[in-house]
Amino acid sequence: MYVARPHGTSSPPGPHGTTPPRPPAPPPPVLDSTSLLGGQREIRIQHGNETYRLRHTRNDKLILTK
């Protein structure tokens, strides 16, 4: 049985009263850290009103801090 829903809500139920599955989301893009850092050991990333630091450590790790 189909039940009408207000505009903007989830899709109608499937044949057995369940919501149809969503298609899988595309995978996120992959960025190479060396191209992102551009040969530097640290970059700053502006996100909204905040500035973050992305550092490449001597132990070959990446650290993101606010």
Q: What's the whole-model pTM score?
A: 0.60
The alpha carbon of residue 12 and the mean position of all alpha carbons in its chain are separated, in whole angstroms, by 27
Tens digits of per-residue pLDDT, 12-66? 665 666 888 999 999 999 999 999 999 999 999 999 999 999 999 999 999 999 9
- Show the domains of the chain with their CATH numbers: 33-65 (2.10.70.10)
The token pair that represents 2 in the structure block = 């189909």
